[in-house]
């Protein structure tokens, strides 16, 4: 079935109330739960420190007074992707596909983060934020995919048509947060690994993944807010570790991640969809905060993500890159330490 036709999966899965999510939370007492686990409150997950995402009233206020920056209808042509034929032990090859989708190639293990190949990130295929450049790799050009990491259930991070296509072609192991099983079943994924914050899962061959806290929220519709868990991932290889932050506002949790799981050879950090700050600061880091995260998690190198593909907020197409340059300069961080990846251009880093 073509990828666009699979977009109908969104309508089916988005309308469901995700019964298993409710069952997971109904069996969890309010409060912190197990040591270090995600807080629960009234049957829903909560952020550390009680920070709440803006509600429907704030969303309507923002939408009625939006002042979005300029975005092109189509971005400049991408660099043709040329993936490495092999990756040596002790290194990782990283290719930005688009948005928050990275291909991570380790020796003997290929990982995709938050894969989205759809034209729009939306409940329906005919409306919603539309990409300004195609994915840097066609799905057919991907190498064998062993593991997919899904940080949370927002449409720009959990894209059911893409997941269905990857499941049919690769049968990967899918690792995500609690409460996603019913939704992922709509993409043919029947046995995902669901983790609480700080939960670990061995991938074999000396590789493992830990689900890390984030300050964000989850929802696919009006009635399932915070019924599934959001977060990031630390991927541990025999020689070092890579951190993928998912979506998050800036919070002390990053220092805890660095203390518990760092240092990281590489961190993949969001820098876009941050305006207006009165609405977005609880949800998304701005470039200055991303530089702070780079240091908090003790990353040797970082790459920006979550920019330049889908116009999701009021920051313009060029703003994240320009503000990251200023933030780096003010913090004494070099462009080599915190770089902007070019979609389709593979980079190699020692672990």
Each residue of 271-294: pLDDT tens digit?
999 999 999 999 999 999 999 999
Q: Output the CA–CA distances (angstroms, integers) from residue 88 to 106, 214, 348, in the order listed.
A: 7, 31, 10
Each residue of 126-139: pLDDT tens digit?
999 999 999 999 99
Number of residues that this document lists for the chain: 351
| Within-domain flag for 45 | no
- pLDDT surpasses 90 at 230: yes
> Residue 188: left if φ>0, alpha if ψ -120 to 50, beta else—which one?
left
pTM (2 decimals)?
Answer: 0.91
Q: Output the CA–CA distances (angstroms, integers) from residue 337 to 116, 334, 349, in the order listed.
A: 27, 5, 11
| Average pLDDT score over residue span 224-248 | 97
pLDDT band at 35, cuts 50/70/90? low
Show the domain range for 200: 91-341
| Within-domain flag for 21 | no
Percentage of residues of the chain with pLDDT beyond 90: 84
Which tokens sit at 110?
A: 């290929």
Phi, psi (rounded to 5 degrees) for 166: -70, -40
Residue 265 in contact with residue 240, Cβ under 8 Å? yes
CA distance 240 to 29: 36
- pLDDT surpasses 70 at 22: no
CA distance 190 to 182: 8
| Within-domain flag for 116 | yes
Residue 40 pairs with which residues in a beta bridge? 31, 45
| Within-domain flag for 82 | no
> At 99, which CATH number?
3.60.15.10
| Within-domain flag for 298 | yes
| Within-domain flag for 350 | no
> Residue 184: left if φ>0, alpha if ψ -120 to 50, beta else—which one?
alpha
| Within-domain flag for 235 | yes
What is the chain's alpha carbon radius of gyration, rounded to the nearest angstrom? Answer: 19
- pLDDT surpasses 90 at 21: no
Total number of domains constituting the chain: 1
| Within-domain flag for 59 | no
- pLDDT surpasses 90 at 16: no
Each residue of 191-220: pLDDT tens digit?
999 999 999 999 999 999 999 999 999 999
């Amino acid at each position: 079935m073509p990828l666009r036709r699979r977009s109908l999966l969104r309508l089916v899965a988005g309308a469901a109330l995700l019964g298993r999510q409710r069952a997971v939370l109904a069996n969890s007492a309010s409060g912190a739960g197990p040591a270090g686990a995600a807080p629960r409150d009234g049957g829903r997950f909560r952020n550390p420190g009680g920070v709440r995402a803006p509600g429907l009233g704030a969303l309507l206020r923002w939408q009625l007074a939006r002042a979005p920056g300029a975005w092109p209808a189509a971005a400049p042509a991408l660099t043709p992707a040329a993936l490495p034929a092999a990756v040596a032990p002790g290194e990782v090859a990283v290719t930005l596909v688009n948005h928050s989708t990275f291909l991570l190639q380790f020796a003997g293990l290929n990982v995709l983060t938050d894969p989205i190949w759809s034209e729009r990130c939306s409940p329906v295929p005919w409306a919603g934020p539309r990409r300004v450049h195609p994915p840097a790799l066609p799905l057919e050009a991907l190498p064998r995919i062993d593991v997919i990491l899904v940080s949370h259930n927002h449409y720009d991070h959990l894209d059911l048509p893409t997941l269905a296509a990857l499941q049919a072609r690769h049968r990967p192991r899918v690792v995500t947060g609690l409460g996603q099983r019913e939704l992922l079943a709509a993409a043919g994924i029947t046995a995902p690994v669901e983790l609480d914050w700080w939960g670990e899962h061995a991938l074999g061959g000396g590789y493992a993944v830990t689900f890390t806290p984030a300050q964000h929220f989850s929802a696919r519709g009006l009635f399932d807010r915070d019924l599934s868990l959001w977060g990031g991932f630390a991927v541990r290889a025999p020689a070092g570790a890579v951190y993928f932050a998912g979506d998050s506002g800036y919070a002390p949790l990053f220092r805890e991640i660095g203390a518990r799981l760092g240092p990281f050879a590489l961190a993949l950090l969001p820098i876009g969809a941050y305006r207006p700050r009165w609405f977005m600061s609880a949800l998304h880091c701005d470039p200055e905060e991303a530089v702070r995260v780079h240091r908090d998690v003790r990353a040797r190198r970082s790459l920006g993500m979550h920019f330049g593909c889908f116009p999701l907020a009021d920051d313009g197409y060029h703003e994240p890159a320009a503000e990251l340059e200023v933030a780096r300069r003010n913090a004494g961080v070099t462009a080599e330490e915190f770089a902007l990846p070019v979609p389709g251009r593979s980079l190699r880093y020692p672990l």
